[in-house]
Structure 1
Amino acid sequence: MSFTTPPRPFDVTALFPRLAPLARTATRLHPRPGSPTAHDSSVGGPLLWPADEPWPHCAGPHTWDGVIPPLSPEDERQLRRNRAAVESRRRRGPQEPWVTPEELEAEKRLTAGRPWPEGPVALLPVAQLYVRDVPLLRPPGGSGSDVLQVLWCPFDHPLHPSTALFWRTAASVTDVLAAPPEPPAMRSGAYLPEPCLLAPEQVTEYPDPMELDEGLQEQLNDWSNWQAAGPALDASYEVAPDELYLDQLSVSPGWKVGGWTSWGLTDPVPRTCTECGAEAVPLLTIAGTEWDGGTESWIPEEEQTNPTPTLSGQPPANFTMLVIASGYGLQLHICPNSPDHPHIERIQ
């Protein structure tokens, strides 16, 4: 499995040379549903977790909005299996019944919810990244770790799941935990990643326009500065040329490692390590969708000729089945000096 981001419509640095030294490489992860093992880089797959190491739990508090009934992870998996079967029937025979009585009964029973959990709840695996697959992944402080594991509590804290990061050396794990504990309930299925394999791809990014100095922002907002792009220039952006830069030429959408930070929900804010004062660096962007209506130019070439199906009712390109903060992304930043320093979470 491999995916290729189409070349950008034109070289933005030829029009705005001051952007050239600001280029950064990011790794788009392109998660797609699959059957990963603990020895794979994955989203939502099993982790290379030592059998003699306690599984992390969250002590809470875990509050309920009283609206969405909590489900167990297995409830959500069964619902997804049933809905996938319904979707398959719909595609094969649109005129035939799509849903069986058994599936309707199961949907009613499963969506009734579970009792609200009391006490600590087990964290859910979110991502596992091997440095061999993502060479840009740099463990903090120059440690020899070669695996990053990301887990989270499947409840809001207060607006999104609270994450935990673990760096380890794969060769040191000789006995893998076979059956990690799972939470008895979670905040619906929005925080349970669908098991996905990855197809890492390196791309070049430039800063979000909100991180550029005022002079460069003014240049980007002047349509006349874009004319040298010639026929490749999308004239529909004439009323908002800075949006052309934002949508097609700066920060790539979807799951990624490194690169530049996205902004928009808020203005840029300092990302400073609370332990040592160092500037935190982008580590991982956890996204709901790989692209949206404004970023379709980033759709991989392979998806344009042979689209990966998603379940009916899910947002387009939502291959991991996650929905975070009504469709935003969760961006993790880390201190470059030590893996023991707390990381920073931002919704954008």
Structure 2
Amino acid sequence: MTRTTPPRPIDVEALFPELAAYRGTTTRLHPRPGSPQISAGSVGGPMLWPANEPWPVCSEAHSRGRGQRPVDIHRYRRVLATAWARNRAPDPEERELLKALHREHRISEASETDPLPMIGLAQLYRRDVPDLPTGPGGCDLLQVFWCPFKAHGPDRYDLALHLRWRRSSEVGEVLTLQPQPPVVESEGFVPEPCVLHPEQVVTYPFADPDFLPEDLCARIEAWDAAQEEAEQSTDESAAGPTGYQYDLSIPPGWRVGGFASWHATDPYPMDCRTCGTPMRLLLTIDSLEWDGGSRSWKPLEDRLPAHRCAMPTEVTAGRFGELNVFACPTTPDHPHRWSIQ
């Protein structure tokens, strides 16, 4: 099923004509639970990975000997979904099973220092995603992995991300038995297999003087404040006021390209550490496809109460935020950077 973003509640360029010069596009991926094929783009699906190429691993010596098993996480989600599909809480037998599946496990101490297989998070084909740039050497496939533990880097809270570009036509024999880590730090690192329904939409920069003229930002801020004041003076408060940041500029959810949101921190430079070029947003990994503040972006096909797809991938970035991955626009194989909002 395709996914269709509703028209924006207000024509933002009619309000602020200067924004036409900053108009861009982003491709909403609209991941939804399913059975993705190895030859298709996906979140949490099988990777088109060569049989003769080593799988990405993490060699950091974090506390990986204790955690949850991916197989238990997937089963836990299935049991819970089955119970709520009956419109009631899990029965006593299901609750005992859920507790057992949520139990922490240990692996042998010898395994704690072995290279840990990374989790295949997403693969994206340029043929399906209009805003996915061409990779180095004409690569048409981007594969994204991460380590299911946070303890990396000097502050021991960094994520370990691995991006691999490749030409899909040159893969040859595919690795069928794809490695999985024996345990993960938390279930938010384990994606549910999701098929993608890419849709390109219009987007505008985050309203900050780093990205838009200062006087335009001030007018947008004043307009937002007036919208909130008008909403508070009426009884029609269920939907909330229309705002630039949440309704008119940057859509929520997994997406490729466009502009990054900086709603949790002040913007800071994202320059390539190899060549100094300002980097561009490559991919946004979002914990939620929409929430109470961004419901106007909820696809038309998900408007029925039965479509509870706010968190279809089960992936969480930070404290239910979004992970923005940036890439060098001049040399795509330069090391990426990221921020969590």
Task: Give CA deviations for 1:268-300 in whole Å, capped at 9, x if unaligned.
Answer: 111110111111111000001011111111111
Residue 104 of structure 1 and its aligned partner are, at CA, apart by 4.0
Residue 139 of structure 1 and its aligned partner are, at CA, apart by 2.5
Residue 202 of structure 1 and its aligned partner are, at CA, apart by 0.7
Equivalent residue, structure 2, for 1:147: 141
Deviation larger for 157-166 or 120-129: 157-166
Q: 2:91 aligned with 1:99, yes or no?
A: yes
Q: 2:260 aligned with 1:261, yes or no?
A: yes
1:283 match: secondary structure: strand
Q: 2:81 aligned with 1:84, yes or no?
A: yes
Equivalent residue, structure 2, for 1:112: 103
1:270 match: secondary structure: coil
1:318 match: secondary structure: coil
Structure 1 residues 81, 226: CA separation in 2 closer, same or farther (over 3 Å shift)? closer
Structural mapping, 1:140-219, within 5 Å: 140-141=135-136, 143-156=137-150, 157=152, 158-159=156-157, 161-210=159-208, 211-219=211-219
Matched residue type, 2:130: P
Q: Distance in 1 between matches of 2:243 and 2:5?
A: 17
Q: Distance in 2 between matches of 1:302 and 1:282?
A: 27
Q: Distance in 2 between matches of 1:159 and 1:213?
A: 35
Q: Which of 132, 135, 138 is the equivalent residue of 2:133?
A: 138
Q: Distance in 1 between matches of 2:264 and 2:180?
A: 32
Structure 1 residues 11, 70: CA separation in 2 closer, same or farther (over 3 Å shift)? same
Q: Distance in 2 between matches of 1:301 and 1:318?
A: 16
Q: Distance in 2 between matches of 1:323 and 1:50?
A: 28
1:220 match: secondary structure: helix
Matched residue type, 2:267: P
Alpha-carbon contact 1:140-1:335 (below 8 Å) kept: no
Residue 135 of structure 1 and its aligned partner are, at CA, apart by 2.3
Structure 1 residues 226, 184: CA separation in 2 closer, same or farther (over 3 Å shift)? same
Task: Give CA deviations for 1:193-229 in whole Å, capped at 9, x if unaligned.
Answer: 11000100011111111232321111113349989xx
Q: 2:117 aligned with 1:122, yes or no?
A: yes
Alpha-carbon contact 1:76-1:188 (below 8 Å) kept: no
Alpha-carbon contact 2:32-2:194 (below 8 Å) kept: yes
What is the RMSD of the two structures over their aligned residues, measured on CA atoms?
A: 2.6
Matched residue type, 2:84: E
Give structure 1 stretches of 5+ with no counterpart.
Answer: 228-232, 311-316
Equivalent residue, structure 1, for 2:318: 325
1:75 match: secondary structure: helix
Alpha-carbon contact 1:221-1:242 (below 8 Å) kept: no
Structure 1 residues 191, 137: CA separation in 2 closer, same or farther (over 3 Å shift)? same
Structural mapping, 1:273-292, within 5 Å: 273-292=272-291
Alpha-carbon contact 1:335-1:341 (below 8 Å) kept: yes
Equivalent residue, structure 1, for 2:31: 31
1:161 match: secondary structure: coil
Give structure 2 stretches of 5+ with no counterpart.
Answer: 234-239
Matched residue type, 1:271: M
Q: Distance in 2 between matches of 1:224 and 1:338?
A: 38
TM-score normalised by structure 2 residue count: 0.88
Matched residue type, 1:339: P
Q: Which runs of 4+ in 1 moved over 6 A?
A: 224-227
Residue 181 of structure 1 and its aligned partner are, at CA, apart by 1.1
Task: Give CA deviations for 1:48-107 in whole Å, capped at 9, x if unaligned.
Answer: 00000000100113247x9xx61111121121222222223x32xx4xx84363x44433
Equivalent residue, structure 2, for 1:338: 331
1:222 match: secondary structure: helix
1:190 match: secondary structure: helix
Alpha-carbon contact 2:80-2:90 (below 8 Å) kept: no
Structure 1 residues 328, 83: CA separation in 2 closer, same or farther (over 3 Å shift)? same
Q: Distance in 2 between matches of 1:40 and 1:298?
A: 25
TM-score normalised by structure 1 residue count: 0.86
